[in-house]
Amino acid sequence: MRTYIPITHMTLEQILTPQVVAAVKQLYGIDATEQQVQWQKTRAEFEGDITLVVFPFVKLVRKAPQMIAAEIGEQLAAGELVEKYNAVQGFLNLSIAQSYYIDQLQTIAADQHYGEQEKRDQLMMVEYSSPNTNKPLHLGHVRNNLLGYSIAKIQEANGWKVVKTNIVNDRGIHICKSMLAWLKFGNGETPETSGKKGDHLIGDYYVRFDIEYKKQIAELMSGGMDEETAKKEAPLMKEAQAMLRQWEANDPEVRALWSKMNEWVYAGFDETYKQMGVSFDKIYYESNTYLEGKSEVEKGLKSGQFYRREDGSVWADLSKDGLDEKLLLRADGTSVYMTQDIGTAKLRFQDYPIDKMVYVVGNEQEYHFKVLSILLDRLGFPFGKELVHFSYGMVELPNGKMKSREGTVVDADDLMAKMIDDAKEISKDKVNTLQGITEAEANEIARKVGLGALKYFILKVDPRKNMLFNPEESIDFNGNTAPFIQYTYARIKSVLRKAGELSGERLAVSELEEKELALIQRLMEYPNIVRQAGDEFSPAVICNYAYALACEFNSFYHDHSILNEPDKEKRALRLLLSQTIARTIESALALLGIEVPDRM
């Protein structure tokens, strides 16, 4: 039997490339470079595991591509790694010795951090969530949080030091609307007296403001006023604007009310984030960062980067950059989102040695981040041009877009509770078949399955595309869903429990079944999958891999016995293979923020 001792974490390409360079040197006396060695996956209609593209050597060697391929193939086959080859025009298809794959399985199985890339001395900050303190988190926030958290986990697996950050929009006219409505219509209601989470309570008053505001607009219009004027002259809006000016002037009563209501909201947010399974390393607040932004805008005004209009407002002229003019300070001196983002960026780069700053924000803000990058660069910040806007698509519903002020959003808390309840109902019969399971354990399984279904359904879609959310599809135990992958994991764990402790000895199997080989090859792809997901900022890449791995294992499980395999060596290999697949599924799903139950 051939033996091959693998070099840990080296891919087939990395192992074979210097062998090809050496073969070209020995055959033709030519010093080829590793950059000239090109690999691709062997096409399905040909035998082989990996294919060398020979065309880059044709001009150097001055022979027909078919002949070069055959000669290099013969040279490689003289070693221990390549078992056989076939040359098809300018392509050399190589079949790798099965002993290599068996050794690779054992190497992977022994590596508790398989898939993770080498640590680098670079820091990436990932901003996500960015809630407003006038309403609870909704379905749109769910996609944002799940993408942001997963991207952070994927980049950590790619060796980055990652700081997960959140900017809370805790000031502005929208906050004042909720505050004013609570003052006028709340009668002192609190989360304790209402029995509501604080963020839900404040969200109700944001909706109430809009209802009363529309009544005032209609009343003014019935008196002959046009709609635009009515919107500006409605007493509620004027009061909200006055409250914002009081807030910026540090009025003690307005600030005290603002602090009290925000604390209610933060307590509610914390519950939602905990249930969702996302977290942050650092939270910034717009109420702290906007003053830094105003200070930078004033500096830009003095240096001539910006200009002031007759009404007192401050603007940036971006026509030289192919854009229009951008408001930075209103006529009354109040700031806008852009002002806040300038200040937040400044503080972040003071707080951390950031090498890459990633904003996870919906694609409707693409223009905003183009402008932010230009303005930071103009203000002299070296990181201005390096900002990355991870632009993702919106979550759509069958009945159209969500509107917070009209109370037509899909609430994040309600959605997660429904997903868990649905999982509990769907898996009721399955869970009841598990011996000795308690109600608490059944509830925990339902939580993992329900939230896993939600996360996977959202993350499996190309993040840059809009998506239609369908809860029923997400929780199916068949098909491309988290419950299907989780069930595969639980099935493997059941097999391993029955098998007892694995021996840990070196495998002595000489031949692999076709599906065993396919599974090992799939496992070997995992580090490249993690790299690809990091390069593309795409959790969907991880989803597709986890689903493919689960599908292949289930096909193998259907066709081959594991526990009842009479050949001890073959049984040992299948158990080790199953254990490694389970651990890889767990690792992949963890990058998506999805937990795996040991039993289902």
> Can you give the pLDDT at residue 146?
98
Q: What is the dihedral of CA 350, 362, 456, 277, to 10 degrees?
A: 40
pLDDT in tens, 93-140: 999 999 999 999 999 999 999 999 999 999 999 999 999 999 999 999
pLDDT in tens, 585-596: 999 999 999 999
Is the per-residue pLDDT at 2 higher than 50? no
Instruction: List the domains of the chain with CATH numbers.
Output: 12-96 (3.30.1360.70), 128-406 (3.40.50.620), 412-591 (1.10.730.10)
505 burial type by CB count under 10 A (0-12 exposed, 13-18 middle, 19+ buried): exposed
Mean pLDDT of the chain: 92
CB atoms near residue 35 (< 10 Å) = 8
Q: With cut-offs at 50, 70 and 90, classify the pLDDT of residue 218.
A: very high
| Residues whose CB falls within 8 Å of the CB of residue 52, separated by 6 or more in sequence, listed in order | 16, 20, 37, 38, 39, 69, 72, 91, 92, 94
Rounded to 5 degrees, what are φ and ψ at 458?
A: -75, -40
Q: With cut-offs at 50, 70 and 90, classify the pLDDT of residue 511.
A: confident
Q: With cut-offs at 50, 70 and 90, classify the pLDDT of residue 479.
A: confident
Tokens, residue 576 = 């080790």
Is the per-residue pLDDT at 520 higher than 90? yes
Q: Where are the beta strands (DSSP E) in 105-195?
A: 123-127, 161-168
As a whole number, mean pLDDT of residues 338-362 equals 95
Would the pTM of this model clear 0.85, i.e. be above it? yes
Tokens, residue 550 = 């689960």
Pairing of strands 388-392, 161-168: unpaired
Tell me the residue type at 98: Q
